[in-house]
């Protein structure tokens, strides 16, 4: 007997869950409010530019995300460094580089510490001790989630300069939060999984093409090949038990054809936590009321197009400047002349409400301070994209608020990077959550076999 699965949300979690359920032989429908797939990791057109909604990078250890790209046939459209290398820019100073050696962990990071120009010898030695202490932390220990990363660093004797120049340089981008606002458990996951436990885990991957090409067009093709029905511009209004007894669940939606009710044996809610809470009533799932405690953290992207190349690196981290991370998106965006740079600002609470003119007055001089060639270049375009709810706030105490995929209600399943993946809010976490959601659906159907209800259309 056919089983019908309805996936609400077309981000990476929803795409993954839909494909996995289709692999199990279920009839799958995916609904997405927007006109494209990929969720927060997609692109839009601005004139002749393909603009990514955010500057998403990944690590070599992101095996689930790489597996999804392989399945979508776009793994050749990303590039992973052969060896961890992060250029570091500071105003009016020559570029320095953090790199690893081809040695067993953690000795592979010796050059990153020994060559860090912003730290004194004493600070480098202490940072090495802190790294060894972090290797002893268990990210699964619930007690770590109640401690802030900043407090722990100070307990380790890290100076404010070392926190800013080393630990926050990586953690703010990974957790979208300052160290004092970050869960130690999630920080330990980032540094242990990405840098400390294996020599090549932290090698950085970047997309060579617009994210829409990776996550939208390619996903459409693979979903169609798997037999998944995709409904774009279709908004789910709520998720309700099917009292008629025809199926387990019904979801009223509004799409281009008007309003209708979709019925399914199982529903996977794969949307951000604030939307998931709105779809599920507290009477149906009381735990949903607590999800608002996850809050949200913003990311702002500042986009600058120059008439000539001004940055010689594919990306760079930045110290001593309002610029945090800088990406060359020229080739990926289809620019043939000049250079298109994107500044990624994580934990961007102070910038998300500022006007474009104010940000222009701040960041163009900052770029001239960092990049000598920018002082002679003409700015051909400047614009800003804002993601006020880019991630959940990955603060101390969030572990208890992140639900598992299994809601305890047969057939109602959750997915998304905000769920209890054990990872920060990342591409990898989103894909893993989709895999887990599909496993819960399979287990639910296996338990219900051979009984079942016929799916109505």
pLDDT one-digit tens code per residue, 76-89: 999 999 999 999 99
Mind listing the pLDDT tens digit for each residue in 110-153? 888 877 888 999 999 999 999 999 999 999 999 999 999 999 99
Which range has the worst mean pLDDT, 7-11, 192-196, 351-355?
192-196
Mind listing the pLDDT tens digit for each residue in 364-401? 999 999 999 999 999 999 999 999 999 999 999 999 99
- Is residue 455 very low, low, confident or very high in pLDDT (cuts 50, 70, 90)? very low
- Stated pTM of the model: 0.94
- For residue 48, pLDDT beyond 90: no
327 in Cβ contact with 315 (< 8 Å): yes
Instruction: State the average pLDDT over residues 301-326.
Output: 97
* Among the listed residues 175, 223, 264, 227, the one whose alpha carbon sits nearest the alpha carbon of residue 10: 223
- How high is the mean pLDDT of the chain? 94
Q: Which tokens hold the place of 427?
A: 């591409």
Q: How many whole angstroms separate alpha carbon 116 and alpha carbon 131?
A: 15
- How far, CA to CA in Å, does 133 sit from each of 127, 153, 192, 334? 10, 10, 11, 45
Strand 58-59 relative to strand 204-207, pairing: antiparallel
| CA angle (386 as vertex; 385, 391 as ends), nearest 5 | 130
Going by C-beta distance under 8 Å and a sequence separation of 6 or more, which residues neighbour residue 143? none
pLDDT value at residue 317: 96
Q: How many whole angstroms separate alpha carbon 263 and alpha carbon 67?
A: 31
Going by C-beta distance under 8 Å and a sequence separation of 6 or more, which residues neighbour residue 72? 214, 215, 218, 219, 221, 222
328 in Cβ contact with 377 (< 8 Å): no
Mind listing the pLDDT tens digit for each residue in 86-101? 999 999 999 999 999 8
* Among the listed residues 99, 95, 62, the one whose alpha carbon sits nearest the alpha carbon of residue 83: 99
Place of tokens 């957790």: 175
Instruction: State the average pLDDT over residues 150-158.
Output: 97
Mind listing the pLDDT tens digit for each residue in 342-359? 999 999 999 999 999 999
pLDDT value at residue 457: 31
- Is residue 449 very low, low, confident or very high in pLDDT (cuts 50, 70, 90)? low
pLDDT value at residue 332: 94
Instruction: State the average pLDDT over residues 407-412.
Output: 95
Q: Which tokens hold the place of 436?
A: 């887990």
Mind listing the pLDDT tens digit for each residue in 244-289? 777 799 999 999 889 999 999 999 999 999 999 999 988 899 999 9
- For residue 452, pLDDT beyond 50: no
pLDDT value at residue 281: 85
Mind listing the pLDDT tens digit for each residue in 411-434? 999 999 999 999 999 999 999 999
- For residue 296, pLDDT beyond 50: yes
Which pairs from 399-404 meet CB under 8 Å and 24+ separation?
A: 399/142, 399/145, 399/183, 399/185, 400/142, 400/145, 401/290, 401/291, 401/293, 401/294, 402/294, 403/287, 403/291, 404/436
Report helix angle 63-72 to 12-23, nearest 10: 70
Q: How many whole angstroms separate alpha carbon 101 and alpha carbon 110?
A: 7
Instruction: State the average pLDDT over residues 312-339.
Output: 96
Residue percentage of the chain with pLDDT more than 70: 98
Q: How many whole angstroms separate alpha carbon 354 and alpha carbon 206?
A: 28
Strand 315-318 relative to strand 325-328, pairing: antiparallel
| CA angle (417 as vertex; 411, 419 as ends), nearest 5 | 50
């Amino acid at each position: 007997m056919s089983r019908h699965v309805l996936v609400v949300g077309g981000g990476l979690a929803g795409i993954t869950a839909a494909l996995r359920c289709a692999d199990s032989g279920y009839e799958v429908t995916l609904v997405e409010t927007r006109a494209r797939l990929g969720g927060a990791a997609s692109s839009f057109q601005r004139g002749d530019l393909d603009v990514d909604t955010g500057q998403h990078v990944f690590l070599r250890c992101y095996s689930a995300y790489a597996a999804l790209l392989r399945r979508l046939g776009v793994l050749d459209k990303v590039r992973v460094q052969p060896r961890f290398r992060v250029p570091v820019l500071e105003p009016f100073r020559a570029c320095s580089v953090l790199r690893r050696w081809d040695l067993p962990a953690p000795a592979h990071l010796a050059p990153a510490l020994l060559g860090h120009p912003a730290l004194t010898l004493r600070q480098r030695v202490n940072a090495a001790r802190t790294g060894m202490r972090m290797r002893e932390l268990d990210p699964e220990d619930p007690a770590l989630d109640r401690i802030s990363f900043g407090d722990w660093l100070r307990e380790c004797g890290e100076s404010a300069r070392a926190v800013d120049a080393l630990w926050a340089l990586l953690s703010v981008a990974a957790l979208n939060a300052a160290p004092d606002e970050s869960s130690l458990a999630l920080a330990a996951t980032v540094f242990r999984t990405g840098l400390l436990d294996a020599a090549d885990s932290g090698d950085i991957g970047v997309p060579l093409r617009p994210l829409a090409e990776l996550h939208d067009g390619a996903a459409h093709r693979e979903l169609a090949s798997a037999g998944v029905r995709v409904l774009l511009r279709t908004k789910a209004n709520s998720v309700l038990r099917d009292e008629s007894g025809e199926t387990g669940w019904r979801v009223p939606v509004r799409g281009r054809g008007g309003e209708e009710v979709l019925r399914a044996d199982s529903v996977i809610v794969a949307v951000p936590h604030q939307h998931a809470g709105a779809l599920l009533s507290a009477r149906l799932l009381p735990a949903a009321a607590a999800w608002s405690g996850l809050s949200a953290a913003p990311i702002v992207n500042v986009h600058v197009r120059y008439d000539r190349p001004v940055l010689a690196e594919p990306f760079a981290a930045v110290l001593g400047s309002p610029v945090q991370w800088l990406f060359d998106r020229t080739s990926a965006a289809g620019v043939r002349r000049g250079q298109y740079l994107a500044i990624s600002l994580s934990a961007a609470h102070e910038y998300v409400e500022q006007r474009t003119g104010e940000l222009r007055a701040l960041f163009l001089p900052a770029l001239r301070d960092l990049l000598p060639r920018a002082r002679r270049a003409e700015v051909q375009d400047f614009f800003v994209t804002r993601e006020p709810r880019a991630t959940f706030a990955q603060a101390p105490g969030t572990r208890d608020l992140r639900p598992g995929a299994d809601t305890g209600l047969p057939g109602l399943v959750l997915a998304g990077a905000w769920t209890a993946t054990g990872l920060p809010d990342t591409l990898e976490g989103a894909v893993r959550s989709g895999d887990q959601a599909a496993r819960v659906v399979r287990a639910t159907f296996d338990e219900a076999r051979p009984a079942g209800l016929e799916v109505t259309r």
